Structure 1
Amino acid sequence: MTTAKRVLLPGLAAVAVAAGAATAVAAMAMAAGVDFELPDGGESIPLLGFSQLTIVFGVVGLLLALALRRWVARPARAWVRMAVALTAVSLVPPFLVGATLATECALVLVHLVAAAIVIPVVARRLAA
């Protein structure tokens, strides 16, 4: 079985689960009073937006992982470190939009929940 086949289906399944989990975390944050309003445009991020963005960027991350696997030879542990580094970079944007501290923290938590679901599945499949 090729690497793409070995990684793609489990990776897509993990992205789908991560989208549901990210949306659930965002819903809990909204229920706790976090508004997800971004000052630049004055609009709030809708709940469905969390699912959509998790799916879009999860698939982008999955395709990026497959491309890197194809063109860059790395030991198995390096894949996990690279994924953690890219996740750390993805945590920066919530702090650049001028949102409230509660919104920033909730956005970071949503990112980390999605990453905690997708990264182990993809890293394990890439290392195999």
Structure 2
Amino acid sequence: MRRLVGVGVLATLAAVVVTTLAAALARAAGVDLEVSDGEAIPLAGISVVTGFFSLVGVVIAAALLRWSARPAVWFVRTTVSLTALSLVPPFLAEADAATTGTLVGLHLVAATVMIPTLARSLRQRIA
């Protein structure tokens, strides 16, 4: 369990760095990251939200490791479903296409860092 949490925290830090960097690059390329209220999403906000939900993924992985006979399989199923659900809000935010596409991309980037890393760690724990 300790190893899983350690890997999860490191993956969370990586996801935060990668998504924040991607958002900064998008902003430098002209994407305003403004949502329906007309305010731009700050880079720190992207970092905090990425960190929070990535840690939620670590908690899900730990719970599945503790209580599931097939934690890696259920982790992937659960987190892919949650990632798909997370793609809905950017389309409801009344943002322009560039902002919507960037937000969707940021969700996918974070998922691409977190899901395979934690799934691999779950597989190694039971192998």
Identify the TM-score tier after normalising by the shorter chain.
0.7 to 0.9
Residue segments in structure 1 that go unaligned for 5+ positions in a row: none
Q: How large is the Cα RMSD of the aligned pairs?
A: 1.6
Find the partner of 1:108 among 95, 104, 116: 104
Q: Is the 8 A contact 1:22 1:54 kept in 2?
A: yes
| Poorly superposed stretches of 4+, deviation over 6 Å | none
Deviations 1:27-74 (A, max 9, x none): 1110111111111x2211011111111111111121122223333333
What's the % identity of the aligned pairs? 50
Which of the numbers 22, 37, 42 marks the counterpart of 1:46? 42
Q: Does 1:36 align with 2:51?
A: no
1:3-22 to structure 2, matched below 5 A, reads 4-22=1-19
**C-alpha contact 1:79 1:127 (8 A) present in aligned 2:** no
C-alpha separation between the residues in 1 aligned to 2:82 and 2:65?
A: 15
Give the TM-score of the pair, scaled to structure 2. Answer: 0.88
In the alignment, the residues of structure 2 paired with residue 64 and residue 75 of structure 1 have an alpha-carbon distance, to the nearest angstrom, of: 10
Describe the shift of the 1:65–1:75 C-alpha distance in structure 2 as closer, same or farther (beyond 3 A): closer
Which of 85, 88, 113 is the matching residue for 1:89? 85
Alpha-carbon displacement from aligned partner over 1:66-118 (angstroms, at most 9, x marks no partner): 22333333364443233222211111111111111111100011111111111
Structure 2: which 5+ residue stretches go unaligned? none
